[in-house]
Amino acid sequence: MKIFVTGTRGIPNIPGGVEKHCQELYPIISSLGHEIILATRSSYVEQNIEEWNGVKLVKCYAPKIKSMEAIIHTLIALIKARWYSPDVVHVHAVGPALLIPFARLLGLKVVFTNHGPDYDRQKWNGIAKAVLRIGEKVGGIFAHEIIVISNVIKKIILKRCNRNANLIYNGVPVPKKSDKTDYLDQVGVKPHEYIIAVARFVPEKGLHNLIEAFKTLDTDLKLVIAGDADHETEYSHELKEIASTDSRIILTGYITGETLNQIFSYANLFVLPSYHEGLPIALLEAMSYGLPVLVSDIPANMEVGLSKHRYFKCGDIYDLKNKMANILKSEISEIEKSEIENQIKTNYNWREIAIKTVNVYKRVPKYS
């Protein structure tokens, strides 16, 4: 089967939840004997890599403009897809889904993965939110098959589009923890003496709440925030300014590979203070390292099914501070570690996710 993929900035090692999802998923589908062609955005992919881990990469133009890049890139990618004559075009995210009717007009068979209601993100203005809602609606109506990554999204599709979507969770590989500390030395932290957060610098990730809560926390631990802004904004600039006023707060910028492995391997606590998520891969990664976690009580995080004390009231800085203080007083129990390990292996196994995704492709009608 030949599958053409669009709706992602690209792979490998490009920041973003959809990007991480595609980077893990498609090499496995390729290894199952299928041909994968993935459209990358020219503004994010600097090197002319034509193939990565069995996935053919096709660079398509995309202006690095927040409100335009996804739509323009998807339009160009779909035109290129027609030239490749794929069996299936897989469109990711509700913004690119706006062009699924165009894909149908081109005679393409379309699978749409809804990674979450992006119109809830605080970075978008009213017009952009309306456009994203339309994307979710038309994608849900015109795609031949729909995949969702959480029950929360499945209910949205059922309500808005009267469609029964295929529920396939995000996944996470079981990591091999790093035995190196050179990157920790570089950024100025010691093993097991820091809290971590991994997120983009956008309002809906709630990092401003985490920084404010941490500043009032009586601790010698440091706070390491791995991430940055895709597009520098007033919010991201202010976040960096606020962080710079406390020497205990360290901003690493975007990191991947061994550097991120080290940061996860030696952390005391992972915190995700988001106001909006689809199904957060960063949280699954932290769980895969056996880390104690603390996350906001939004529906997507609640669906992961953590112990009650692992949640704090979203946006409540006082509750966040108190929960951090309490968790830092005790180690994660062996029972909880075992439960999380079994959960990762059962619900978030990438190979099983790949097989389920291919089965969805096979349900797309050959003639319609």
- Residue 106 is part of a domain; what is its CATH number? 3.40.50.2000
Asked if 55 and 27 touch (Cβ cutoff 8 Å), the reply is: yes
What domain range includes position 62? 2-171+349-363
Long-range CB pairs of 311-320, under 8 A, 24+ apart, other chains included: 312/273, 314/206, 314/273, 314/274, 314/275, 315/206, 315/209, 315/275, 317/209, 317/212, 317/213, 318/213, 320/209, 320/210, 320/213, 320/271, 320/273, 320/294
158 and 232 part of one domain: no
Does residue 332 lie within any of the structural domains?
yes
**155 and 200 housed in the same domain:** no
Show the tokens assigned to 31.
């290894």
27 and 80 share one domain? yes
Q: Nearest 5°: CA angle at 144, between 138 and 145?
A: 95
Q: Is residue 176 in some structural domain?
A: no
Please give the Cα distance from 270 to 224 (Å, whole number).
Answer: 10
Residue 125: per-residue pLDDT: 65
- Residues 160, 291, single domain; the answer is no
- Alpha-carbon distance 190 to 198, whole Å? 18
Residues 212 and 335 in one domain: yes
Considering the domain architecture, whether residues 123 and 264 belong to the same structural domain is answered as no
189 and 334 in one domain? yes
The encoded tokens of residue 367 equal 């003639």
* Number of separate domains in the chain: 2
Q: According to DSSP H, which parts of the chain are helical?
A: 17-31, 69-84, 100-105, 126-142, 151-161, 182-187, 207-215, 234-243, 257-265, 281-288, 299-302, 317-328, 334-347, 350-363
Q: Does 221 map to a domain? A: yes
Tokens 């061994």 correspond to 258
Assess whether 122 and 30 both reside in one domain.
Answer: yes
Q: What is the CA radius of gyration of the chain?
A: 20
Residues 106 and 254 in one domain: no
Q: Digits of tens for pLDDT over the chain (368 positions)?
A: 999 999 999 999 888 889 999 999 999 999 999 999 999 998 887 677 899 999 999 999 988 777 788 899 999 999 999 999 999 999 999 999 999 999 999 999 999 999 977 656 666 667 777 888 888 999 999 999 999 999 989 999 999 999 999 999 999 988 999 999 999 999 999 999 999 999 999 999 999 999 999 999 999 999 999 999 887 889 999 999 999 999 999 999 999 889 999 999 999 999 999 998 888 889 999 999 999 999 999 998 999 989 899 999 999 999 999 999 999 998 888 888 888 888 888 889 999 999 999 999 999 987 65
What are the two backbone dihedrals, phi and then psi, of residue 31, each rounded to the nearest 5 degrees?
Answer: -65, -20
Provide DSSP, 243-306. Answer: HTT-TTEEEEES--HHHHHHHHHT-SEEEE--S--SS-HHHHHHHHTT--EEEE--HHHHTT--
Q: Which of 81, 86, 156 is nearest to 115 (CA)?
A: 156
Q: Is residue 107 a contact partner of residue 82, using CB atoms and an 8 Å limit?
A: yes
Q: Is residue 177 part of a domain?
A: no
Q: Tokens for 322?
A: 């108190």
Residues 205, 123 share a domain: no
> Do 150 and 294 sit in the same domain of this protein?
no
Report CA-CA distances (Å) from 187 to 33, 179, 250, 259, 349.
42, 17, 7, 10, 32
Tokens linked to 107: 């005679």
- Classify residue 368: in a domain, yes or no: no
Contact (Cβ atoms closer than 8 angstroms) between residue 42 and residue 49? no
**Per-residue pLDDT, 119:** 56
Pair 258, 264: CB distance under 8 Å: no
Token look-up 């403009």 returns 65
Continuous segment of H or E residues that includes residue 2: strand 2-6
pLDDT of residue 121: 61
Three-class DSSP category at 78:
helix
Distance of alpha carbon 211 from alpha carbon 223, whole angstroms: 8
Same domain, 161 and 198: no
